[in-house]
Structure 1
């Protein structure tokens, strides 16, 4: 990068200048030594050495002046090189911080675009006739439950980003799922107290949906999921009465890891950067180094609510708040990149 080239050039100029001034100072010391020896020999020579002593004194004076000049030159160059280095470092950090803040925004935008599609999926599938029929009369006709389960399985074969899809009746009992062969204990589970079910049943219309933060689901083999839900309504109508709930479970970890590890960084940057997604509480919900997932919080310093960067010791932290996507406003997540400050 141009900023790094400026810093490297400044350090190289400083190094060469120091090297050459050291040579001048070495020559000055040698000149002084020669001048001193010449004055001693001139003194021994008596009257015959008087003229030579004048030359020796001039050599000594010359050496002193050169020494003074080299000292002044060293100070002047060091001062200006320091200013160049500071300006170059500030320019480099500003460029790097701004670029990484933009990449942080890009990371969280990509995931929000993905999750926007999940919000569309759940609202669409909740109007599917097989799903509506299962929620309406499944308790009376087991064949309707089998048809709904088959329909969910068909959806899952096309939408491989989901671990499972569940239908709960109005009381919160799971009556259908799409992967009964993999998740054997789902049917009959009571989810009436689960956040996704309660939020779904409180949605005002079929245009609304509920979303929960990333969490592990014990029934789904403790996998980390993003859960979306909405009410299943009478006849699948937008303003129909809620008769059950549809919950869809996005397989979060592999999708999120692909995004944080796919950021457009150079090979050198990848070795010194950690790309993360943080939830609204700064909990790490994805990390390019696979550390701290759903266990650690990152000490993000919000010097600006939407986008900023700052230095933290030997590291730089850049971040950006989710801007949301279309009708999906997001959950207050942040894209974040922690990077080592380059040394030269």
Structure 2
């Protein structure tokens, strides 16, 4: 079975494995019924033989005592099995909570970028000039600029420029829209009043598609609002985040707004039509909660549900949306309940609903350990059942001896002795059956850890690629600023206005150490932050030479001495109206934002995540001291790694080091960004995962099972 299929089927495999324990209870029930019947028969025979000898009565009483003890053990086991089934259902729901958290986080990170884009685009001179002087030449230049930007970023359906009266004066794609007036649109009025505005997801009749509009005031040189720029996000890219999630056929992933309306789903019929207020998870999401639930679908199916309210990202605070992952479970009986674990506050902080349950362990780890601890209880109980079984065997021998002594008078008791022996054998078979069921459950719990490592590696790799795609687009967009072309063509250092423009871009996007403009000789003529870099020469660097040759360049992660930090350099040629390369713009990406993605990847409290480059070096880690210092080059899966590959492997330990189990996934790139063939590795100590053991009933009798947790 492929890793993806295993991942997709894991939930119901867990439920089926716990169901195996329930089936074993039916065997125990049959044994108990037989034991009670034998005890009754033994009591009758004992009463018949009472005048001859008291031995039969004693044996009969012992048989009755063992039957009662079996009944008691059966009740305990039934209770534990119900508990483990409930925990298995919770474990599935909690895993769906983690998937929901990953989905809403991925969406938040994307929409943060959209929020930055519209503010940056509003600073272009061609945009301002079209408003200040709406000549055909200026309007055409603004349309061309917007068209170029939309083409670079690839994720927009349209970009519209409006003057203060609400009239569309420029469009990226549909110039037939020019002249229409949108003064009655709420987003226009709010933005014209000075706020950067983000709409809810909606169907827009202008672009004839579902979208989210990102709107920024356009400011004059005197800092007065002269118009509004509105970028319309292509909502298909939000749907792609769901469809690329590789959820199972039994799983439905949706994004809902703060009124419980479905705004994104793999099922097109749900989008902008369905509501999730029928689901308790949906109602709790709208109250800004994060948690999980076990519920019934509208068609009566059992569902394990995870829900997560947005927390936004950086300056983008989100729109009150939530991700909900619901999975159909192969069981008709579920303990319907919902458990909100935390609540998102309006200031971006999170409040625990149950602060007394706070720990360093994440929820899925706690649910897995709860399952393991309950299986320990079963081991203890099986130990007792086996001990009781041995006593039953001795009773069978004793009853057979007494029947032999009594001769023909003991024939009835001889039959009972045989039945007791058969009962003991059946009890032994039961122990073997329940051992198989618990071993299967252990294997599923253990395998789920491996699959979660792989799942985390793939999701993290996707987030890294998506982030760097944005950086790849940014550098191309900024190379089109006329202000930068102007200083290069005049062969001079940047003036105050050009530097302020660089600083504004730097502030909007938050993720860069610095931005430089360089002339064709490689000299820095403008810097956003560090003015001491002016006139520094970079003509011998690869990123400068490649950009000067017309390439959009991105480096591996490297240590920048002057910044005292690891960086990725993105560079682009700056081209004038005659299609001549007149300079280069370079951004120094702050790799702490990759570390931020790595830190957010948590399988459990013992897991670690790394980003590995083509030279097998660690280039991102939650431990800064490891970056560019440690390597995975001795690992065989790295040595033989091929692009677009993923899987699960074991790390061979060096002397006195623990063994690790690892999930890994290579970068695939995203859209026009082709990636760097980096690898994300998520690992945890193998001795910390629950290794399945096949233990015979005799071994279970001789020793109590010890787990390494």
When normalised by structure 2's length, the TM-score is: 0.39
Match of 2:119 in 1: 123
The answer to whether 1:335 aligns with 2:323 is yes
Match of 1:199 in 2: 190
Which segment drifts farther, 76-85 or 10-19? 10-19
Look up the SS of the partner of 1:185 in the other structure: helix
- 8 Å contact kept, 1:148–1:176: yes
Match of 2:159 in 1: 165
Cα offset, 1:272, TM superposition: 2.3
Look up the SS of the partner of 1:213 in the other structure: coil
1:75 to 71, 75, 79: 71
The answer to whether 1:190 aligns with 2:158 is no
Residues 305 and 170 (structure 1), Cα distance of their counterparts in 2 relative to 1, 3 Å cut: closer
Cα offset, 1:264, TM superposition: 6.3
Cα offset, 1:302, TM superposition: 1.6
The answer to whether 1:308 aligns with 2:257 is no
> Within 1, Cα distance between the matches of 2:60 and 2:267?
60
Look up the SS of the partner of 1:271 in the other structure: coil
Gaps of 5+ in 1: 40-50
Cα offset, 1:67, TM superposition: 8.0
> Within 2, Cα distance between the matches of 1:93 and 1:15?
21
Which segment drifts farther, 96-105 or 127-136? 96-105
1:154 to 133, 148, 158: 148
* CA offsets 1:28-71 (integer angstroms, 9 cap, x no match): 99x89xx9xxx9xxxxxxxxxxx9xx89xx9999899868855x
- 8 Å contact kept, 2:161–2:227: yes
Cα offset, 1:120, TM superposition: 0.5
> Within 2, Cα distance between the matches of 1:263 and 1:82?
38
* CA offsets 1:156-209 (integer angstroms, 9 cap, x no match): 2111110111111111010110113xxx53111111111221121111xxxx51
Look up the SS of the partner of 2:114 in the other structure: helix
Look up the SS of the partner of 2:293 in the other structure: strand
Cα offset, 1:21, TM superposition: 5.1
The answer to whether 1:100 aligns with 2:96 is yes
Cα offset, 1:124, TM superposition: 0.3
Look up the SS of the partner of 1:328 in the other structure: coil
Residues 174 and 113 (structure 1), Cα distance of their counterparts in 2 relative to 1, 3 Å cut: same
- 8 Å contact kept, 1:10–1:84: no
Look up the SS of the partner of 2:149 in the other structure: helix
Cα offset, 1:5, TM superposition: 7.7
1:84 to 80, 84, 87: 80
Structure ID, larger Rg = 1
> Within 1, Cα distance between the matches of 2:171 and 2:118?
14
> Within 2, Cα distance between the matches of 1:153 and 1:101?
40
Match of 1:45 in 2: none
The answer to whether 1:277 aligns with 2:255 is yes
When normalised by structure 1's length, the TM-score is: 0.77
Match of 1:289 in 2: 267
Match of 2:200 in 1: 213
Which segment drifts farther, 102-111 or 86-95? 86-95
> Within 2, Cα distance between the matches of 1:338 and 1:153?
40
> Within 2, Cα distance between the matches of 1:192 and 1:82?
68
- The root-mean-square deviation of aligned C-alpha atoms, in Å, is 3.3
> Within 2, Cα distance between the matches of 1:23 and 1:90?
29
Match of 1:226 in 2: 212
Look up the SS of the partner of 1:324 in the other structure: coil
Look up the SS of the partner of 2:284 in the other structure: coil
> Within 2, Cα distance between the matches of 1:291 and 1:77?
52
Look up the SS of the partner of 1:301 in the other structure: helix
2:244 to 262, 278, 283: 262
- Which protein, 1 or 2, shows the higher relative CO under an 8 Å CA cutoff with sep ≥ 6? 1
> Within 1, Cα distance between the matches of 2:14 and 2:207?
49
Match of 1:46 in 2: none
> Within 2, Cα distance between the matches of 1:340 and 1:332?
26
> Within 2, Cα distance between the matches of 1:6 and 1:157?
51
Residues 226 and 73 (structure 1), Cα distance of their counterparts in 2 relative to 1, 3 Å cut: same
Residues 301 and 153 (structure 1), Cα distance of their counterparts in 2 relative to 1, 3 Å cut: closer
> Within 1, Cα distance between the matches of 2:104 and 2:210?
18
Cα offset, 1:26, TM superposition: 9.0
- 8 Å contact kept, 1:211–1:228: yes
- 8 Å contact kept, 2:28–2:74: no
Look up the SS of the partner of 2:215 in the other structure: strand
Gaps of 5+ in 2: 1-9, 297-301, 333-709
Look up the SS of the partner of 1:219 in the other structure: coil
Aligned residues: 306
Cα offset, 1:271, TM superposition: 2.6
- 8 Å contact kept, 2:32–2:71: no
Match of 1:179 in 2: 173
- 8 Å contact kept, 2:203–2:211: yes
* CA offsets 1:242-270 (integer angstroms, 9 cap, x no match): 11110100011x212221233365xxxx2
Residues 261 and 84 (structure 1), Cα distance of their counterparts in 2 relative to 1, 3 Å cut: farther
The answer to whether 1:243 aligns with 2:243 is no
Which segment drifts farther, 90-99 or 209-218? 90-99
